[in-house]
């Protein structure tokens, strides 16, 4: 197999950073875990208590601030402290990567976050390193410590952590292909945590399955306090124990232990981390902890937990039991314990005073970082003239999409392509025996042949898995260009797309980003596509802030827009209409390897003076044929190309000239994409209109299998012609 990455590469800045990473620091050899206290020194044992007590006192401080109405929400990490300081001691701050959840206050403190930084998020300060005042308290994120911005969604971060864990081996492969075997070496691990309740989420199981299959260095921490708000573990997990439920996964190291004991927690975490660092695969830490406070200050656990059960938890509370252990072992005296408590309390009190004086975000910053502040894909920087390759002849949309990905992968070695069936082979021994798949529509055909199995590979049949892993890779500097095989099946990934991918930059206050390109075959007009292979619904993505959405109607535009999508620094939904993949009317010469089209720039595909027709995708050609069929209407036809952002300036200029507007789109008419445009024309251009703003769209129905039904449901040439003629005569 030929594998080639050109020496004359031009990766983006983030990829350069990943490529330039030097060799890992020498591993700190693990102390024998059978030594007294697991090999921990007395100083480390005392530091455990200091970290645990600091975490608890910060919880208490926030509870008080909430009661005083000086903060707006509080959720505690109380009872989880011992498991977390033990895990943190086994990990490497700012070297390993971390995807914690809201109970992990003690972990982030042990990794190096300060009390003021923790409280800065509670007060919503603009100087908060977690989110700049954009997220609720306990939504951790710290760029300098490799703590990736956390959302409120439970369990979604597991797939991102799995993707982050793949980056090391991908970069090693890239370095090897370039003959630079010493350029990227790492034994990093990725830590990700949840409560016992979130282990019911499908994305947890997808992540464990992927990590186990590919022996990825992921440390899965399940902090089991017995309840998911009010639902007990016995009703969350099969058999009541997640560590028993996952025993069928090959390569997965599993340990279940008392998470109220920091020494035991360290010993068990160290064994798991050593296993993962050595390349054996992922590990699952099942720590049994307690929850001495209610789920949050919006919850009252006395309503569903009897006093006897809560008292039993209180007896195991590590803030009570651990200092007694230190005194019993002669490590601290009672006076020294009280002195540490007083010191911590003074530190936290001072941190509260400091946090309350921190500046808050200015209202004018609300729109900052929805998109990249540095790379603007709507600018002239992304407008290049085509350099037509006449020798190659005209190419289809599929041909030019494939060519664009190929040339961009040569240019940027940080690009990875994956999805369902996108690779030519999964089993390398089949190479040379079969032609190779390369996608159900052949858009990625033979890319793996050139770029190898680390840069082009198949995913499981799991759409959330694709997007979640891509987010983890992109956050660390790679450029994933992933494929969802059919738009009709994108919905399992909607959580990742809407709540994780689109707002990573905004919610982290520009500390993290995830510029993933999501390629999605979409649309009907297939003659037999039926309800589950003919769906449209771009509007369900165009309304999401932070997500750019484009849909080309011809081969040249497909090449130019895809190249812009790959080179820009924002997440992009790249919608590829299946009906247009191999049409002859939209073929084009290759416009060149640097051809780009700015987002938000429509194209007038037919100038006219009588009325304006605004459309995109497969209805562009149908509109042109409808106008041609009429013959007596001089309609101006606008191909939007880019749906978010869209070119309202071009629409306004045309409507001011023609004084009439018709929007044609394949989505359902009610609440569809064209409704927003029609409303805005009515709002902003009413004085220029000589007639009502009309729409031609699909019926508010599903797309049927039989062609006669499909033709009735989707907008046809005659439907468009009728609307054009009616509006012209109005």
- DSSP alpha helix (H) spans, 281-378: 307-316, 318-328, 334-356
Sheet-wide strand order for 218-224: 97-99, 190-195, 218-224, 283-288, 253-258
Backbone conformation region of residue 39, classed left if phi is above 0, alpha if psi is from -120 to 50, else beta: left
Domains of the chain by range and CATH?
Answer: 44-356 (3.40.50.970), 380-580 (3.40.50.970), 603-729 (3.40.50.920)
Residue that has been written with the tokens 């009872």 in this structure = 79
Residue 18 confidence class, pLDDT cut points 50, 70, 90: very low
In the residue annotation, 533 being an active-site residue is answered as yes
Query: DSSP string spanning 477-522?
Result: T-EEEEE-S-GGG-GGGHHIIIIIITTHHHHTTTS-----EEEEEE
Helix (H/G/I), strand (E/B), else coil: 258: strand
Q: Which two tokens stand for residue 306?
A: 């009897």
DSSP secondary structure letter of residue 547: -
Q: Could you report the per-residue pLDDT of 371-396, keeping only the tens digit for each?
A: 999 999 999 999 999 999 998 899 99
To the nearest 10°, the Cα dihedral for 229, 234, 237, 238? -170
d(CA 653, CA 634): 16
- pTM assigned to the model: 0.94
To the nearest 10°, the Cα dihedral for 434, 438, 439, 443? -140
Q: Indicate the helix (H) or strand (E) that contains 284.
A: strand 283-288
Q: How many CA atoms lie within 13 A of 527 on its CB side?
A: 1
Residues composing the chain: 730
CA 350 from chain centre, in angstroms, equals 37
Nearest one of 410, 428, 418, 404 to 455, comparing CA atoms: 418
Residue predicted with more confidence, 98 or 171: 98
Nearest one of 444, 438, 426 to 481, comparing CA atoms: 444
- DSSP alpha helix (H) spans, 240-317: 242-245, 262-277, 307-316
* pLDDT over threshold 60, residue 328: yes
pLDDT value of residue 180: 63
Angle at Cα 432 formed by Cα 448 and Cα 415, nearest 5°? Answer: 5
CA 248 from chain centre, in angstroms, equals 28
For 116-122, what is the mean pLDDT?
A: 98
**Do 287 and 259 form a contact (C-beta atoms < 8 A)?**
yes
pLDDT value of residue 700: 96
pLDDT value of residue 4: 29
Quote the percentage of the chain above a pLDDT of 70: 94
pLDDT value of residue 183: 58
Nearest one of 368, 341, 331 to 131, comparing CA atoms: 368
d(CA 632, CA 610): 10
d(CA 235, CA 233): 5
* pLDDT over threshold 70, residue 16: no
Please identify which of the residues 403, 533, 577, 728 carries the catalytic annotation. 533
For 33-49, what is the mean pLDDT?
A: 92
Nearest one of 260, 240, 407 to 321, comparing CA atoms: 260
Q: Could you report the per-residue pLDDT of 160-188, keeping only the tens digit for each?
A: 999 999 998 898 877 776 666 555 678 99
**Please, which residues bridge with residue 231 across strands?**
228
* pLDDT over threshold 70, residue 318: yes
Residue that has been written with the tokens 């908060």 in this structure = 128
Q: Could you report the per-residue pLDDT of 664-713, keeping only the tens digit for each?
A: 999 999 999 999 999 999 999 999 999 999 999 999 999 999 999 999 99
What crossing angle do the helices spanning 334-356 and 115-123 adopt, rounded to 10°?
40
Least confident of 25-39, 135-149, 287-301, 322-336: 25-39
Q: Could you report the per-residue pLDDT of 105-114, keeping only the tens digit for each?
A: 999 999 999 9
């Amino acid at each position: 197999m030929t594998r080639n990455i050109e020496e004359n590469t031009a990766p983006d800045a983030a990829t350069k950073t990943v490529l330039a990473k030097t060799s890992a620091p020498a591993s700190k050899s693990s102390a024998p875990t059978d030594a007294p206290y697991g090999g921990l020194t007395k100083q480390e044992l005392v530091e455990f208590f200091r970290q645990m007590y600091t975490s608890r006192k910060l919880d208490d401080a926030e509870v008080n601030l909430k009661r005083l109405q000086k903060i707006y929400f509080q959720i505690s990490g109380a009872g989880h402290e011992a498991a977390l300081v033990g895990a943190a001691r086994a990990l490497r701050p700012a070297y390993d990567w971390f995807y914690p959840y809201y109970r992990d206050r003690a972990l982030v403190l042990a990794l190096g976050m300060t009390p003021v930084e923790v409280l800065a998020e509670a007060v919503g300060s603009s100087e908060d390193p977690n989110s700049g005042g954009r997220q609720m308290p306990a939504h951790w994120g710290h760029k300098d410590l490799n703590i990736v911005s956390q959302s409120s969604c439970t369990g979604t971060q597991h797939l991102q952590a799995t993707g982050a864990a793949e980056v090391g081996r991908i970069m090693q492969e890239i370095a090897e292909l370039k003959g630079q075997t010493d350029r990227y070496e790492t034994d990093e691990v990725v830590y990700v945590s949840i409560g016992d309740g979130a282990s019911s989420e499908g994305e947890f199981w997808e992540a464990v399955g992927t990590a186990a299959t590919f022996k990825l260095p992921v440390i899965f921490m399940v902090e089991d306090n017995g309840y998911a708000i009010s639902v007990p573990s016995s009703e969350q997990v099969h058999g009541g124990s997640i560590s028993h439920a996952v025993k069928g996964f090959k390569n997965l190291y599993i340990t279940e232990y008392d998470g109220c004991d920091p020494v035991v927690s360290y010993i068990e975490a160290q064994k798991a981390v050593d296993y993962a660092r050595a390349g054996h695969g992922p590990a699952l830490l099942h720590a049994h902890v307690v929850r001495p406070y209610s789920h949050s200050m919006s919850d009252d656990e006395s309503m569903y937990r009897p006093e006897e059960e809560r008292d039993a938890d209180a007896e195991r509370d590590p803030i009570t039991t651990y200092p007694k252990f230190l005194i019993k072992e002669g490590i601290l005296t009672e006076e020294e314990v009280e002195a540490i408590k007083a010191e911590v309390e003074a530190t936290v009190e001072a941190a509260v005073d400091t946090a309350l004086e921190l500046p808050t975000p200015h209202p004018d910053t609300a729109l900052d970082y929805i998109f990249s502040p540095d790379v603007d894909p709507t600018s002239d920087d992304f407008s290049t003239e085509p350099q037509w390759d006449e020798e190659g002849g005209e190419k289809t949309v599929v041909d030019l999409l494939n060519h664009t990905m190929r040339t961009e992968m040569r240019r940027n070695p940080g690009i990875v392509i994956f999805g369902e069936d996108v690779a030519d082979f999964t089993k390398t021994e089949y190479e040379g025996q079969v032609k190779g798949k390369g996608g159900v529509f052949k858009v990625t055909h033979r890319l793996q042949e050139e770029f190898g199995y680390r840069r082009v590979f198949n995913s499981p049949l799991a759409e959330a898995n694709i997007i979640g892993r891509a987010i983890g890779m992109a956050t660390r500097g790679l450029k994933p260009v992933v494929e969802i095989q059919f738009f009709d099946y994108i919905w399992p990934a909607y959580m990742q797309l809407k709540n994780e991918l689109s707002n990573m930059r905004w919610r982290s206050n520009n500390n993290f980003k995830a510029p993933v390109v999501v390629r999605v075959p979409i649309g009907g007009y297939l003659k037999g596509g039926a309800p589950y292979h003919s769906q449209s619904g771009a509007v369900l993505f165009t309304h999401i802030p932070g997500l750019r959405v484009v849909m080309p109607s011809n081969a040249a535009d497909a090449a130019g827009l895809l190249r812009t999508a790959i080179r820009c620094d924002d997440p992009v939904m790249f919608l590829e209409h299946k009906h247009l993949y191999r049409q002859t009317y939209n073929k084009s010469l290759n416009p060149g390897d640097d051809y780009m089209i700015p987002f938000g720039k429509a194209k007038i595909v037919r100038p006219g003076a009588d009325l304006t027709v605004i459309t995109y995708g497969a209805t562009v050609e149908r509109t042109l044929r409808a106008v041609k069929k009429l013959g007596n209407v001089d309609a101006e036809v606008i191909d939007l190309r880019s749906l978010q952002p869209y070119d309202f300036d071009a629409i306004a200029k045309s409507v001011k000239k023609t004084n009439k507007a018709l929007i044609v789109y394949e989505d359902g008419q009610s609440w569809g994409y064209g409704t927003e445009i029609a409303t805005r024309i009515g709002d902003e251009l009413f004085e220029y209109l000589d007639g009502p703003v009309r729409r031609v769209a699909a019926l508010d129905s599903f797309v049927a299998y039989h062609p006669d039904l499909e033709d009735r449901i989707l907008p046809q040439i005659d439907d468009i012609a009728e609307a054009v003629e009616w509006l012209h005569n109005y």
